[in-house]
Structure 1
Amino acid sequence: MGTTLPSDEAGELRRHLGVFDAVVIGLGSMIGAGIFAALTPAAVAGGSGLLLGLALAAVVAYCNATSSARLAVRYPQSGGTYVYGRERLGDFWGYLAGWGFVVGKTASCAAMALTVGSYVWPRQAHPVAVAAVVALTAVNYVGVRKSAWLTRGIVAVVLAALAAVVTACLTGGTAAVAHLDIGSDAAFGGVLQAAGLLFFAFAGYARIATLGEEVRDPKRTIPRAIPLALGITLVVYAAVAVAVLLVLGPARLAHTTAPLAEAVRAAGVPSLVPLVRVGAALAALGSLLALILGVSRTTLAMARDRHLPHALAAVHPRFQVPHRAELAVGAVVAILAATTDVRGAIGFSSFGVLAYYAVANASAWTLTPAEGRPARIVPLLGTAGCLVLAFALPFASVLWGAAVIVAGAAAYGLRRAVAHRA
């Protein structure tokens, strides 16, 4: 005798996001605190090869975006690569992708929250970070449409701040333009590590795919929104990177903790520093908002398949959001934000995100032409690029990231063994 679950347990999410809102959510995920913080470690790793690293990261991101878009059209469900891996490669690979995403992006949420705290009130960064997590979890709880409107405003302010930085660097009257010799003294390994670090700043376009159940006409909306959001982000990042390098040069850039603020000072426009600080804080808030949104949707998908506690699969009957998953994610992120540091969280997150996208590209490889398979070179380059960049990261990031992925795989095997004996 079958049982019909109440809408709170088995309800469908409401489809009401169009192309514009989907692009804005993608921009809010990508154009975040990464561009305010990632340039310095990338300069340390790659020196004058920073721009080459940016280009390499963009190529890998393009492959990932194309593969994700084709798969999202085929499987317009919440969960992103968790769903794609499960359907195309098998249950284990879907689980592993979902595990890497949830764990890695939860750490990324903590990093974004701490970035907010460090810009808003440096001496009380941890309490401010926790407060930011609580506030944005509440915004997501009452509905994704409100999240989209808030993200739209944040993206507008951040883009204005970045435009001011670029303009000041290129036109500042008192700044001596630094000598820029792109890549001539950069070791190949350093360029790869810079690319891996800069990829962290791109990894937001999949947020559109993880919202597959809340997008209107996903076959039309998702393939348009993902590459459009990625293209806009690449143009913005390239302009900012070139402008900052022209003013500071790679050596000076590698020794500053606030590269964009230092750049406008060097350009002779110190009055823009407060705007940069506000822009950085808002950028981190925008990223945190979209990250909590995406992690909760993947948690929902995994809970539906009982890879995570099934209670997290509930959809709120009024707000039509995975409210228990959002509260659980918010609680874990708040604990991490109160106890961890930004550097550790970012390094840990990068490895998990690249592993996640490697599964996405491998899944896209299995599509047939009738299913919209991209050119073979796209998923091949994407898979190889993700693996290379993941293992080019700093050793500690590789060690801890690999350990957590292996732990997740072991947990999966143990659960299957117990189920088989039962």
Structure 2
Amino acid sequence: MTDRAEPSSDQPHLMKPGGAWAMAVGGMIGGGIFSTLGVVIAVAGQFAWASFVLGGLVALCSGQSYAALSRVIDRPGGSYAYLMDIGWRRTARIAVWVLVVGYTFTVSVYAVTFGSYAAFALGAAAWVKTAAAIGAIAVLAGINLMGAAEATFIEKVAVWGKLAILLVLSGFGLARWDTGQLVADPGSPVGWTGALIGMGVVFMAYEGFQLLSYDYDEMEDPPRTISRAMPAAILATMATYVLVALGAAMLAGAGEIVAREEVALAIAGREALGLAGFLAVSLAATFSAGSAINATVFATARLASRAAEDGEMPALFGKRDSSGVPWAGTLLISGAAAVLVVIGGLEVLVEVASLIFLAVFALVNWLAIHCRVGRRWASWIGLCGSLGGAAMLVLYLAGVV
């Protein structure tokens, strides 16, 4: 175990369980249901809800592996730190670069979602979507440069606001239950295999909870906080995804959601409550995507800074200001994400990010098994689920299934 100084619990900038929970939920839902619902319905059809359940179970098992390993090494860094702790430095160097690239892709997904909903709500030209996406990255990078307290406050406000709107939307949809609305294309029936493929395609919707392992030193009583916040955030997110996947389909129809995947929930909101519902969901989507950008940049910059301090990434990533904020990493990650917004498409970004995180979660579950920490049966489920999801995604991308 690595020795480290215990932070004082009265430091106002440290995250308590509520703040950590909000940061994890913000990281997941921001890039999840708003960005990926249309993508997963296109693959899984009426079993899209099952894809979210399967992904949630894999994430829950993986979360216990992350929490157990974090408690043992007692320092931030996630899979990178775990590998360094057992002396696998070369593998750790590869892993940290893969992670930073993966998180940069996810920031770009969230930004595209932000820009799509903002431009659609305003009825603006196509170029406004890109401009709004880049603007969101810039603003939230600025908030991150202000420090942990400001980033966590933004997260709490955004998370509770979007959860309220999504649950109300789901309630209106479920009240109009019609199983026919779940079918995207009646002429092309989808079997349960679609749910397995959908789990792989949509897995980036659960990327976010592990960001807490990078924020370990930003928490009050880290072992207790991460053990409580991580599973609670995953369960809350899974429940929200299932309810919204069903409710939105009841309102807009699965076919319409697939056809308008970038703004599908805004259309569902209009079906539920007219203009008020349209505006409320559009507001929730922009807040949600914004909170996900905030949480991901916050944690990724700290991961890169830690690796730079260890000599595993360029020293520039380790530059911090007088308040300890990794300003160079924040700007570099945000800048790269802005470039991806310009050159990438939503479906491609989602699929690449999903594959990266399935591989990373498989690695973390294997490390938990190898190091004999946490609940080994859960780590085995997380490992097999991650590898299975990755295999299905690769087969889907190859056109085999």
Q: TM-score, with normalisation over the residues of structure 1? A: 0.82
Partner of 1:240: 244
1:210 to 176, 195, 214: 214
Mean Cα deviation higher: 320-329 or 224-233: 320-329
Amino acid at match of 1:112: Y
2:278 counterpart letter in structure 1: V
| Count of residues in Structure 1 that have an aligned counterpart in Structure 2 | 379
Give yes or no for contact 2:169–2:272 (8 Å, CA) kept in 1.
no
The answer on whether the counterparts of 2:70 and 2:76 sit within 8 Å (CA) in structure 1 is no
The residue that corresponds to 2:34 in the other structure is 36
CA offsets per residue over residues 291-337 of structure 1, 9 Å max, x none? 111211121122122221123223322x2222222122122222222
Out of 176, 192, 197, the residue aligned to residue 193 of structure 1 is 197
Cα RMSD over matched residues? 2.7
2:280 alignment partner in structure 1: 275
- Give the letter aligned to residue 393 of structure 2: L
Query: Any conservation in 2 of the 1:210–1:298 contact (CA below 8 Å)?
Result: yes
Q: 5+ unaligned residues in a row in structure 1: which ranges?
A: 1-12, 400-422
Return closer, same or farther for 1:396/1:72 CA change in 2, 3 Å cut-off. Answer: same
Q: Secondary structure at the match of 2:333?
A: helix
Amino-acid identity (%): 25
Once the two structures are overlaid, the 10-residue window that deviates more, 258-267 or 390-399, is 390-399
Secondary structure of 1:374's match? coil
Q: Which amino acid aligns with 2:297?
A: I
Q: Is the 8 A contact 1:127 1:338 kept in 2?
A: no
Deviation at 1:289, TM superposition (A): 0.6
2:298 counterpart of 1:293:
yes
Identify the residue that residue 320 of structure 1 maps to in structure 2: 324
Task: Report the Cα offset of residue 237 of structure 1.
Answer: 1.5
**Change in CA separation of 1:286 and 1:366 when aligned onto 2, cut-off 3 Å:** same
Counterpart of 1:53 in structure 2 is: 51
Structure 1 residue 176 displacement after superposition: 6.8
| C-alpha contact 1:37 1:259 (8 A) present in aligned 2 | no
Q: Does 1:311 align with 2:313?
A: no
Query: Aligned in 2, Cα 1:264/1:118: closer, same or farther, shift over 3 Å?
Result: closer
Deviations 1:327-384 (A, max 9, x none): 221222222223333222222211111111111111111234xxxx222221222122
Could you tell me how far 1:250 is from its partner in structure 2? 4.3
In the alignment, what sits opposite 2:136? 132
Name the CA distance, whole Å, in 1 between partners of 2:40 and 2:18.
31
Name the structure 1 match of 2:186.
Answer: none
Q: How many angstroms apart in 2 are the aligned matches of 1:124 and 1:396?
A: 33
Q: 1:359/1:92 Cα in 2 relative to 1: closer, same or farther (>3 Å)?
A: farther
- Does the CA-based 8 Å contact 1:34-1:200 persist in structure 2? yes
Amino acid aligned to 1:129 = A
Supply the distance in 2 between the matched residues of 1:340 and 1:181 (Cα, whole angstroms).
29
Equivalent residues of 1:178, 1:248 under 8 A apart: no
Which whole-Å CA distance do the structure 1 matches of 2:235 and 2:382 have between them? 17
Look up the SS of the partner of 2:76 in the other structure: coil
Change (3 A) 1:312 1:193: same
- 8 Å Cα contact 1:15/1:213 also seen in 2: no
Structure 1 CA distance, aligned partners of 2:103 and 2:118?
22
> What 5-or-longer segments of structure 2 have no aligned partner?
1-10, 120-125, 184-188
Mapped to 2, the partners of 1:325 and 1:152 lie a distance apart of: 24
What is the rounded CA distance, in whole Å, between the counterparts of 1:211 and 1:147 in structure 2?
A: 12
Cα distance, 1:180 vs structure 2: 7.1
1:23 Cα deviation from its structure 2 partner: 0.7
Name the aligned partner's letter for residue 300 of structure 2: V
d(CA) in 2 for partners of 1:246 and 1:282?
Answer: 24
Q: Report what 1:352 is aligned to.
A: 356
For 1:111 and 1:146, the matched residues in 2 are separated by 23
1:22: which partner in 2? 20
In the alignment, residue 180 of structure 2 is paired with which amino acid? H
Q: Deviations over 1:247-268 (max 9, x none)?
A: 4554554344333233334446
For the Cα contact (< 8 Å) 1:117–1:129, is it kept in 2?
yes
- The one-letter amino acid of 1:32's match is G
Larger radius of gyration: 1
Q: Which moved more, 1:158-167 or 1:258-267?
A: 258-267
Deviates further, 201-210 or 91-100 = 91-100
Paired residues of 1:14 and 1:213 also in contact (CA < 8 A) = no
**For the structure 1 residues 126 and 280, does the alpha-carbon distance in structure 2 shift closer, same or farther, using more than 3 Å as the test?**
same
Work out the CA distance in 1 between the residues paired with 2:267 and 2:208: 26
Match of 2:391 in 1: 391
Does structure 1 retain, via aligned residues, the 8 Å contact 2:23–2:295? yes
Deviation at 1:216, TM superposition (A): 1.6
Which secondary structure does the structure 2 equivalent of 1:366 belong to? helix
Say whether the 8 Å CA contact 2:43–2:194 is kept in structure 1. yes
**Residue in structure 2 matched with residue 102 of structure 1 by the alignment:** 100
Instruction: Determine the structure 2 residue equivalent to 1:163.
Output: 167
**Residue 381 of structure 2 aligns with which residue?**
381
Distance 1:274 1:100, change over 3 A: same
Taking the aligned partners of 1:131 and 1:252, their CA distance within structure 2 comes to: 29
CA contact (8 A) 1:97 1:355 kept: no
Change (3 A) 1:253 1:134: closer
Give how far 1:177 is off: 2.7
Shift in CA distance, 28/280, structure 1 to aligned 2, threshold 3 Å: same
For residue 245 of structure 1, report the CA deviation from its aligned partner: 3.4
CA gap 1:157/1:181 in 2 versus in 1, 3 angstroms: closer
* Equivalence map 1:216-231=2 (5 Å): 216-231=220-235
Write out per-residue CA displacement over residues 139-166 of structure 1, whole angstroms, 9 at most, x where no aligned residue: 1111011000011111122112202211
- SS of 1:179's partner is helix
Q: Is the 8 A contact 2:202 2:354 kept in 1?
A: no
CA spacing shift, 1:112–1:205, aligned 2, 3 Å: same
In structure 2, give the amino acid aligned to 1:367.
C
Question: Are 1:264 and 2:265 an aligned pair?
Answer: no
Q: Counterpart of 1:117?
A: 115
